[in-house]
Homo-oligomer: A and B are copies of this chain.
Amino acid sequence: MPTLDALWTRFDAAVKELAALEHIDAVAGWDQETYMPPKGAEARGEARAVLRGVAHEKLTRPELGEWIATLEASPELDSSRRAAVRAVKRDRDRELKLPARLVKELAQAQGRGVEAWKVARREDRFEHFRPALERLIALKREQADALGHAGERYDPLLDASEPGMTTARLQPVLERLRAGLVPLVEQLTASPPPAEDAFLRADAWDVDTQFDFSLELIRGLGFDLEAGRLDRSAHPFCSGLAPTDVRLTTRLFRDDGASAIFSALHEAGHGLYEQGLPASPAGTARYASMGLHESQSRLWENFVGRSQDYWVFWFPRLQARFPAALAGVDVDRWVGAINRVRRSLIRVEADEVTYNLHILVRFELELAIVRGELPAAELPGAWRDAYERVLGIRPPDDRDGVLQDIHWAWGEFGYFPTYSIGNMYAATLMAGAERALPTLWDDVARGELAPLRDWLRAHVHRHGRALDADTIVTNATGSGLTEVDLLAHLRRKFGAR
């Protein structure tokens, strides 16, 4: 029998090997979205599939299972190592539960789903997407059964994005969130609209200047540009190849003065989390959940980035970059413009208040889909009805309705709620930070963001996935997933108008 230390060394080396393969795959993925020439797509797809095959072999090999079992059964294993073993076991168990045939069929169905969705969306023709979607739904239900559940098929899909979260726990929270938001939206959209914001959409925002200002903003957040980059891509994203190599992307429009700023702050929020992850043990050197990840992007984008105090410092700098576009605009008008609340059709363009209602529609529908209560054919109608009921606005077509998001075409069911979980965690963490840092907002108004960043680093980032997201938030703030702080924030920020 090897000693516990020798066994740990083997286990840790195997996990580092897996992390290295993920790192390399992430490089290939980043390149694919940024610089890869169009004809390179096929070779890249094949190469990444091979790499994932290798990772699958490595993760499922029997020795690793034996090491995990022995380590788990060793009472003298310290808590940090125990957490790493638990996290890797979770990955491995999921991988083992999914038959190779299902994995392959899902990959194919995702490919076809995305292709069909693109056409369907362009032509506003849901029926073109329906067969691929039906296939995806069937496979995801099969996947849920393979992963196992106690009657709620949605649970294992939700758990894939949000480890430890259950429908039973989540649904009442989201229901209370809805109950709080609907009257708030009613109140905010009943009164006359706030400051005029047409200047944001003037054709006056030089994209290179926007890019440079975005760099200035994310540097201001403390994102380390020696350990990361900002590039352009069709859809903004953050990819953490390693805490020392975090890639952000953004997109820039000449006729939109705000989109790039909030993309950059959002992705840099994700990026700060990735840069703050622990270097070891390799098994826990990863984010705890998608919801917690999203909390970090939303915190910087919305709670900080859309606050009056933030722009006290940054607005003069923005105005110096765009004197023409911002002629006659002052900080109050700017802050008003970036905080307009309105009932709208498109999730990714929604404001801080209505955003969660967009998510609630998707959660309600995908829960019904996965449960088998809503056939794909009835989805477009159900979508329109839900928007009318929840958001008070009825989509005139499917393009800006049920076809607006790529997620379901990717086979992502159980992912949407992590956006709202992220918003709620962000609010709770922000409330915790305000209690811990009495001068937080004075600091923000002086451009001094290090105290908040360091607090998040110490209370959130550095844990990696040694603890689950809810435990991390609870340890940091005293409460786990709750709608209370988010509703309080939104009422305080918007209710007084």
Contacts and interface: CB of A to CB of B under 8 A. Distances in A.
Interface string A214-234: 000000000011111101000
Interface in A420-479: none
A44 interface: yes
A20 interface: yes
A43 B23 contact: yes
A226 to B, nearest CB: 5
Given A39-B226, A225-B37, A20 B242 contact: no
A37 B242 contact: no
A4 interface: no
Copies in the complex: 2
Nearest to A225: B37
Interface string A31-43: 1000111111011
B46 A20 contact: yes
B244 A43 contact: yes
Interface residues of A, number: 40
A21 B50 CA distance: 7
A32 B27 CA distance: 10
A245 interface: yes
A37 B225 CA distance: 7
B50 A227 contact: no
Contacts of A24: 24-25, 27-28, 47-48, 50-51
A368 interface: no
A51 B20 contact: yes
Nearest to A242: B43
A159 interface: no
Given A27-B28, A31-B27, A31-B31, A245 B36 contact: yes
Given A47-B24, A48-B24, A37 B245 contact: yes
A241 interface: yes
A42 B53 CA distance: 25
Contacts of A231: 35
Given A27-B27, A28-B27, A35-B231, A244 B40 contact: yes
Given A27-B28, A31-B27, A31-B31, A245 B40 contact: yes
Contacts of A27: 24, 27-28, 31, 44
A393 interface: no
A69 to B, nearest CB: 24
Contacts of A35: 35, 229, 231
A53 B16 CA distance: 13
Interface in A43-66: 43-44, 46-51, 53-54
A377 to B, nearest CB: 39
Most B-side CB within 10 Å, residue of A39, A231, A241:
A39
A17 interface: yes
Interface in A218-277: 224-229, 231, 241-242, 244-245
A43 B224 contact: no
A301 to B, nearest CB: 23
Contacts of A42: 244
A27 B225 CA distance: 21
A241 B43 contact: yes
Interface of A: 16-17, 19-21, 23-25, 27-28, 30-31, 35-40, 42-44, 46-51, 53-54, 224-229, 231, 241-242, 244-245
